[in-house]
Each structure stands twice: as C-alpha cells, then as structure tokens.
Copies of this chain bind each other. A is one copy, B any other.
Amino acid sequence: MHLFQGEQDFDKIHEECGVFGIETDHVGPQPAIDAYNALFALQHRGQTSAGIAATDGGQLRYKKGDGLVPDVFDADMLKKLQGYMAVGHVRYAAQGGTSGVNAQPTIVESRGEQYALVFNGSLTNVRNLRDKIEQNGGIFHTKGDAEVILFIIVRELLKTDCLDIAVQNTMKSLEGAYSFLLMTTDKLIAVRDPGGFRPLCLGERDGATVFASESCALDAVGARFVRNIQPGEIVISENRTVRTIPPEKTAGHSLCVFEFVYFARPDSVIDGVSVELSRQIAGQCLAKNDDVKADIVIGVPDSGLSAAMGYAQQSGLPYQTGFVKNRYIGRTFIQATHGERVTALNIKLNALKSVVHDRRVVLVDDSIVRGTTTDRVVSVLREAGAREVHMRIASPPFLYPCFFGTDIPSREDLPAAKYSLSEMEKLIGVDSLRFLQIEDLREVMTGLNIRWCGACFTGEYPDGITEAREG
C-alpha cells in the first residue's frame, strides 16, 4: 500500500516548469491573485512546487512551497502578497529532489536591489558557468539554473548601470533552452533563448503587461494575447510600457516539438499554432497511412483524445469515448490493491464495456516514452471485451535523450530504442502498433510553419550542447 499522485504520470515525459508575470498600475493583491489563477492554468507544466513573488516597489513578498497550486496558497496568503507586479512559477521535479529549496521564484538581493527570477528550461553549459562563479567566490543555495543566471546578471551590473544591458550581456553566456522572467522593484523583464525552445508569450489587460509560458494562462486572467516573444528577444515592461531588445544572434528557431505532442494545454496557441489542431492533424496523418480494419477509434485520456479525434475524422471510423477517467484523481491517492488485479491505473481509468465490447478498437495515444503503463491500458480494454486493439501513436518513436529541461530517461529506459516494432507489439499486448513517421511529423510542422527541435526523435541536436551530452 503506498501513495501515488494521481495526475503525475511517470510514464510520460515532463516539462520542467511554467512561468507567469504581470505588471499593473496599482498596488494590491490583484497581481498575486492573477499569478495564482495563471499558475493554476499552467499546473500541467509542473506539479511539484509552486511560488509567487510580488513587489510593491519597495518590499518584495513571496510564498513558495511543495505541492499543487491550491495546496501551496490560500486566500489569506494571497491577500498578503501585496504588489503592483508579480511573478509566478510551477515546477516539475523528478522524485527524490530535496524538497522546497529548489522551488521558484528564486529571490536574491544585492546592492540594495531585489531580484525575483522564474525560469523554464535548461542551461546546457550550467556546469561551466557555475564553476566560474565559484572560482570567483560565489556560493550557491540551490541546484537551479536560476541562481546561476542571477549571479551573472548581478556581476554584469557591476560593469553597467543598466539592467537591460546587463541582461543582454548575460544572454551571451547562456547556452541551452530557456525562457525566464526577471522582476525587480520597478521592471519586469521577459527573456526567450535564441533557439526559442520554450514558449513565451505577451498579453495585455487594461494596460497591464502580462507574460506567460502558454496562452491558456492569459485566458485564465482575462488578458488578451498580443504576440509571442521572439527567440533571442528581451522584452521589458516598466511603468506598463513595453520595450524590446530584438534578438542579437538568430539561431534557427528550435521550438520543442513535445510542446505540441504532450506538454502544452490543447487550448494554448504556441508560436501561432493551436495545440489542439496540431494534435488533430497528427492524428489525421496517422490515419492517412493506415489501412487497419477497425470498428471504432478511441483515445487514451487525456493525452490521446485530440489525435484520436483527428484519426477518426480522417479514417471515417466512429470516434468514441472508450474510457471513463475518475474526475477526482487529481489528488493524492492511496494505492491500495487487491493482489495484482486492481492497480493505480484501474482506479484512474475504467473502460466503457458497452463501447468497446466485441469491437476492433483503434487506440490512439500521444507518445510512448517509458511505456510502463501502456500495457495496462491495453489490458483494461481486453478485459472489457475488446476484440482487437490497434495502437496508434501520434508521434515518432522516442529514441534519444533530451538535454533541454525535460525529465527524459536515459536510452536504457526507452523501449523504442531497445525493441523492434513487433517486440513492442508483444510487450504491450496489441494486435498492431504504428507510430507517426518522422517524415510525416516534418511535413506537419512545415505545414504549420514551425521550426522545431525534435532531437528526441531524430538524434539531430541543435548546435552548442556538447557539454551536456557528455555529462
């Protein structure tokens, strides 16, 4: 008998974080409340810890802690986070990390100024950067990239009075995938890495400036989407006026393809593309090259539903709801089993017998990373009487590790890297298994006008990450 966190699906690849920031014209609890609502909308990007910092121009107040957004904050707390600006952060961490300490915002003080930084991504040269700082007498409280960036910014500020320039100079040192927001007492600065690996967008509400990892967070605070931050761009909001420092070096845009495959919420629009539609298109693509004989198409909730709908549309097979997902699963739940029969998955998902019984089922999911629960999902269908199960994955086989801020396992744990297709079919227990072809993915992305990083599928990494790959 042990605990599991219902929504935190260890079988999937996980994003590290979601970020949010807002600058309004009025000191009060509203910016922290906005951050709270926005982080709740970004909760899917990180379930380990959450934090909000607000500044009233003089004092910076914050609260951060382990757990989901509603666990970390309560109404009294939000009321105390008075400010006219706020930044917020949700974070996913692999199990076992020292609790609490790595929660963001990371907040430091130097020479009379306060800095709160929220970060999404991964610096591939962090080890080098940290070594240099330590050789110069720096000490670190966390393992995080955020603290490294803050050290560099503060040191750049010794050379220039201008924070804009200091941030610009700091970017020259940083390699990897990163979007971050930096809040001081009077500025809110948004930075997106030259590769544009991680999404970051700008919104507006009644003159207030809003930044968020995904546009769904703009919706959550009633803000209007203005535009995406460009790869390599710095956007500064000060006195609710927005200015920009355009990209210096234009590395090829390398938006992480997994934002579309799994990370982002379907109602978000990232770099101009609807996540929902991109998934439906991937499902359509799958169907185009498929000639399986089946009766219905169903998706694995929730990640496979959009692609399943696309598959159904293209194939002409009826789309159906194949599973009921327990609506209350988003809580800590005791896994209390009866021998081998009832598992965490059974508690989360139940098959709709009336739908799948005696049917030939096309079962669509977004991806197979570790593949540890896929066989259970298939069993649930079999036990409910499905005659045939044809699994279709709306992304290519996951073959290579990622160095850009996801929790991807080593190749050892990637079944697609170890087994042949027919071996995987047997392992998972399906009648057939097909992946999206890498060529199809390329075509989809080209059609959507997205330049992307798909190194996890192709092994073709962007430039400049040698350090991390050897680490």
- Interfacial residues, chain A to chain B (CB-CB below 8 A): 1-3, 7, 29-30, 33-34, 36-37, 40-41, 43-44, 61-62, 68-71, 73-75, 78-79, 98, 107-111, 115, 134-141, 147, 150-151, 154-155, 158, 205, 216, 219-222, 265-267, 269, 274, 276-277, 302, 305-306, 309, 313, 318-321, 324, 326-334, 336-338, 341-342, 346-347, 350-355
Contacts and interface: CB of A to CB of B under 8 A. Distances in A.
Contact of A139 (B68, B108, B134): B108
B40 A338 contact: no
Contacts of A109: 139-141
Contacts of A136: 137
B336 A37 contact: yes
Given A36-B334, A78-B336, A216-B350, 13 more contacts: A40-B347, A41-B326, A43-B328, A69-B328, A70-B332, A71-B331, A108-B139, A137-B137, A138-B138, A220-B350, A221-B338, A267-B324, A306-B321
A338 B108 contact: no
A376 B454 CA distance: 40
Contact of A134 (B110, B313, B342): B110
Contacts of A147: 139
A3 B73 CA distance: 12
A-B CB proximity, top 6 nearest: A274-B354, A222-B341, A33-B336, A108-B139, A137-B155, A267-B324
Contact of A1 (B33, B141, B151): B33
Given A151-B139, A305-B321, A342-B222, A354 B68 contact: no
A174 to B, nearest CB: 17
25 contacts: A1-B75, A2-B75, A36-B334, A37-B336, A43-B327, A73-B334, A107-B141, A108-B141, A109-B139, A110-B137, A111-B134, A137-B137, A138-B138, A139-B151, A205-B338, A220-B346, A220-B347, A274-B353, A274-B354, A276-B355, A305-B321, A309-B321, A329-B330, A330-B331, A331-B331
Contacts of A267: 324, 350-353
A338 B3 contact: no
A354 B278 CA distance: 10
Contact of A219 (B29, B330, B350): B350
Nearest to A312: B319
Nearest to A217: B350
Contacts of A62: 98
A108 B219 CA distance: 40
B347 A37 contact: yes
A277 B356 CA distance: 12
Contact of A137 (B43, B115, B154, B347): B154
Contact of A276 (B269, B321, B331, B334): B321
B137 A342 contact: no
A375 to B, nearest CB: 17
Interface centre among A136, A222, A336, A341 (most CB of B within 10 A): A336
B137 A138 contact: yes
Nearest to A319: B319
Contacts of A333: 40, 70
Contacts of A318: 313
Contacts of A154: 137-139
B220 A3 contact: no
Contact of A37 (B151, B269, B329, B342): B342
Contacts of A219: 346, 350
Contact of A75 (B3, B30, B70, B140): B3
Contacts of A30: 338
B61 A98 contact: yes
Nearest to A301: B327
A134 B155 CA distance: 9
A377 to B, nearest CB: 15
Contacts of A355: 276-277
A153 to B, nearest CB: 9
A419 to B, nearest CB: 30
